Amino acid sequence: MSNKGTVYLVGAGPGDPELLTVRAMRLIMTADVVVYDRLVSPGILALIPGGVARIDVGKRPGSHPVPQKDINRILIQLARAGRRVVRLKGGDPMIFGRGGEEVRALAENGVAVETVPGITAAQGCAASLNLALTQRGIASCLVYLTGHAQHSRTPDTDWARLVRARATLAIYMGAAKIGAIAARLMGAGLAGATPALAVCNATLPRQRQILSDIAHLAEAVAKARFEGPVLFVIGDAAGAISTHGVFQDAPETEQAAASRA
């Protein structure tokens, strides 16, 4: 078969199997082996046909069961053995998914690779709440950020520039650092009353979300005791969900409610 020996770097989307692309679904159905990450939902794994080999290389925060270089090695070996490999990643493989590292390793080893985009978490969160991430006159720019390295001594983010741009910020991997991130944003001039949304397990049946403001976000998140991946949407555009009626789960703090009143 002409496609043998290829690695397909496939985005699985935020969780709901309905949000897979047609191409992703087709590749899953015809793979020899699926190598998948922790954020690929059980509903999507259930679509993998019974006879197809599966390899779980999932990582958890703070522990890395399969180091990246071993993942690369597994992909290269499978492809060299002539297998049709689906490398399945949560969301989009090229947004905070280390897709670039895998492409480079595969290319360096002469392995054919094709990328299949997926719906990234920010888009899944926004759609699940009918939320527009850009809005005329309110937010003309959207920025994807990682919250992961924000305690490092050399801040790699120009917070003041983001605040000046009045960007909608979609913050990935920020749950552990959200207090520090909020402090940096306010230190850079962001008003404390700026709407701040946290969405956990977006597009899955166990989705939950809170709407707060940036000044009270960390406290609201601590209270919420989320279990699962959390994405933050910060900026005036996020405030729209309080008015358009799909918002159900809002244990916001009393101060946040008062400061908005």
Name the residues that contact ligand SAH, by CB under 6 A: 14-15, 39, 89-92, 95-97, 120-121, 124-125, 172-173, 199-203, 229-231
Q: Where are the alpha helices (DSSP H) in 46-170?
A: 68-80, 99-108, 121-128, 159-164
Chain mean position to CA 26: 23
| Residue 260 tokens, joined | 């908005």
3-class DSSP assignment, residue 63:
strand
Give dist(CA 261, CA 7) in Å, integer.
53
Report, as residue numbers or ranges, the catalytic residues. 37, 59, 173
State in angstroms the smallest separation of the CB of 199 from ligand SAH.
5
State in angstroms the smallest separation of the CB of 118 from ligand SAH.
7
Give dist(CA 29, CA 25) in Å, integer.
6
HSE-up of residue 255 (Cα within 13 Å, Cβ side): 10
3-class DSSP assignment, residue 11:
strand
State in angstroms the smallest separation of the CB of 50 from ligand SAH.
26
Q: Which residue type, as a one-letter code, is found at position 76?
A: I
Give residue number: closest CB to ligand SAH: 91
State in angstroms the smallest separation of the CB of 217 from ligand SAH.
14
Pick the closer one to ligand SAH by CB: 6 or 120: 120
Pick the closer one to ligand SAH by CB: 2 or 152: 152
Pick the closer one to ligand SAH by CB: 97 or 239: 97
Give dist(CA 65, CA 53) in Å, integer.
19
Pick the closer one to ligand SAH by CB: 79 or 88: 88
